[in-house]
């Protein structure tokens, strides 16, 4: 008997042996009302080409339900569909071997494709077919499920900057070993690692250009070598906004954001997935922006397109990776007090703060707190969500 869907593997086989008796036929007739003389009257059956009683085809097929309901997958199985072909008649006294084999698993819908077969005592094929079975889960089973063995190791891309540094500090304070990724500011990344280490946390700095193929794999391998695995990925790296009107905006400006924000996140996620799916756990948090949901900021097109693509990637991967136990969420900061807004006039910053219900700009620590929640056990049933950290400037 299988205790959960995860225990079932493609190729698993379960069988049942049953010898068909006169009592079996009698009870089937009483239950169904099918008293076709071919099945119950030896005199009539002798006048047919079969020359003897033929057991109801569905009587033999009904034992497929026994295998499905008690053996494969067992309790909680819901027989959704079945096609079958009857190859030869079953006679009274035949010893049948009824079997089901798993051909394919559909993780998201908890469905199994099964091959169904019945053979007789001579090894002759009596019935063949394909079934689709859904494996239900009860509330009691969900509550009794063991806690996932999440690795408390986090990779933060762009992990030494304003928001990235705050995220790295917060995750370290929450007990995670932290891989601080950086592209060019080695001094800043190593200073942060020294700070975290001085506070008793485990941390390393790893350099890498996310636009270069193979970089993501190198970062993840460094995490595995240093800390044994990866449980949390925060895709925070992003180029400077570099606001430009469309007349001077070049495709290379657009491509720069797509390469770092979208391709970089994509490659990092793929590199981390084997670690996360192995334990059927993992937290992916992508840093998007208020610009995805709020009013457009004129000339921020390339930045906004990159963030929007990242937000869409997050939603689709949340749906795809959910059955593997991996959550994918976004944190969308509003205007945040970092060097990223250094080119925005102070007057504009003050105006945004006044328009915000909480009357201030967000801080890197505000963003880090949201990331820490989505990376925690408390957010284990949150996926495909965007947590806005903008003081109420945009609401949904």
Angle between helices 265-278 and 215-227 (to 10 degrees): 40
Contact 317, 270 (CB under 8 A): no
> How far is the CA of 102 from the CAs of 136, 293, 324, in angstroms?
16, 45, 19
Q: Are 102 and 130 in contact (CB under 8 A)?
A: no
Q: How far apart, in whole angstroms, are the C-alpha atoms of residue 266 and residue 276?
A: 15
Q: What are 273-277's contacts with CB under 8 Å, separation 24+?
A: 273/321, 273/324, 273/326, 275/151, 275/220, 275/224, 275/229, 275/230, 275/231, 276/230, 276/231, 276/324, 276/325, 276/326, 277/321, 277/324, 277/325, 277/326
Q: What is the pLDDT of residue 144?
A: 45
Instruction: Return the active site residues.
Output: 303
Cα 129 to Cα 111: distance, rounded to the nearest angstrom: 17
Predicted pLDDT of residue 145: 44
**Residue 350 forms beta bridges with which residues?**
none
Q: What value, to the nearest 5°, has the Cα angle with vertex 284 and ends 281 and 286?
A: 170
Quote the CA–CA distance of 26 and 33 in Å, as a whole number.
Answer: 10
**Could you tell me if 235 and 264 are in contact, meaning their C-beta atoms sit under 8 angstroms apart?**
yes
| Under 8 Å between Cβ of 324 and 107 | yes
pLDDT for the residue numbered 161: 85
What is the per-residue pLDDT for 69? 92
| Gap between the Cα atoms of 57 and 90, Å rounded | 7
What pLDDT does 126 receive? Answer: 96
pLDDT number for residue 290: 84
φ, ψ for residue 7 (rounded to 5)? -75, -15
β-strand pairing of 153-156 with 232-235: parallel
CATH topology for the 153-389 domain: Rossmann fold (3.40.50)
Cα distances from 50 to residues 12, 88, 92, 120, 125, in angstroms, run: 36, 11, 13, 17, 17
Q: Is 153-389 the same fold as 5-143?
A: no
Class of domain 5-143: alpha beta
82, 133 Cβ separation under 8 angstroms: no
Domain-by-domain residue ranges, the chain?
5-143, 153-389
3-state secondary structure at position 125: strand
Q: Mean pLDDT, consecutive 10-residue segments, the chain of 396 residues?
A: 74 96 96 95 94 95 94 90 96 96 91 96 96 82 51 92 92 95 92 94 94 94 94 93 89 93 96 91 93 80 93 96 93 74 65 73 88 94 91 74
Exposed, middle or buried, 47 (CB in 10 Å: 0-12/13-18/19+)? exposed
């Amino acid at each position: 008997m299988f205790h959960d869907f995860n225990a079932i593997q493609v190729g698993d086989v379960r069988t049942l042996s049953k010898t068909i008796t006169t009592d079996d036929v009698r009870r089937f007739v009483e239950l169904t009302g099918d008293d076709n003389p071919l099945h119950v009257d030896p005199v009539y059956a002798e006048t047919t080409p079969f020359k003897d009683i033929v057991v109801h085809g569905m009587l033999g097929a009904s034992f497929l339900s026994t295998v499905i309901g008690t053996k494969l997958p067992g309790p909680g199985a819901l027989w959704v569909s079945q096609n079958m072909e009857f190859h030869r008649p079953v006679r009274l006294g035949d010893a049948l071997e009824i079997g089901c084999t798993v051909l394919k698993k559909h993780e998201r819908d908890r469905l199994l494709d099964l091959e169904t077969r019945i053979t007789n005592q001579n090894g002759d094929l009596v019935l063949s077919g394909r079934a689709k079975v859904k494996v239900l889960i009860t509330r009691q089973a969900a509550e009794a499920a063991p806690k996932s063995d999440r690795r408390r190791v986090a990779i933060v891309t762009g992990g030494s900057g304003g928001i990235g540094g705050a995220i790295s500090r917060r995750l370290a304070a929450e007990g995670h070993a932290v891989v601080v990724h950086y592209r060019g500011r080695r001094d800043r990344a190593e200073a942060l690692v020294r700070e975290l280490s001085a506070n008793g946390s485990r941390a390393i700095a790893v350099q890498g250009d996310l636009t270069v193929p193979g970089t993501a794999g190198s970062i993840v391998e460094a995490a595995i070598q240093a800390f044994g695995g990866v449980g949390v990925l925060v895709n925070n790296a992003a180029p400077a906004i570099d606001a430009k009107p469309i007349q001077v905006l070049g495709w290379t400006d657009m491509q720069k954001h797509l390469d770092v924000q979208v391709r970089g996140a994509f490659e990092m996620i793929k590199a981390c997935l084997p670690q996360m799916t192995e334990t059927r756990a993992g937290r992916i948090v992508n840093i998007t922006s208020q610009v995805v949901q709020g009013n457009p900021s004129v000339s921020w097109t390339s930045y906004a397109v990159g963030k929007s693509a990242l937000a869409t990637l997050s939603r689709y991967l949340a749906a795809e990776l959910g059955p593997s136990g991996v959550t994918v969420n976004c944190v969308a900061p509003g205007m945040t007090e970092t060097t990223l807004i250094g080119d925005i006039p102070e007057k504009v910053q003050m105006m945004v703060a006044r328009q915000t219900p909480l009357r201030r700009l967000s801080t890197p620590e505000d963003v880090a707190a949201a990331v820490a929640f989505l990376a925690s056990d408390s957010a284990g049933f949150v996926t495909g969500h965007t947590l806005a950290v903008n003081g109420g400037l945009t609401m949904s």
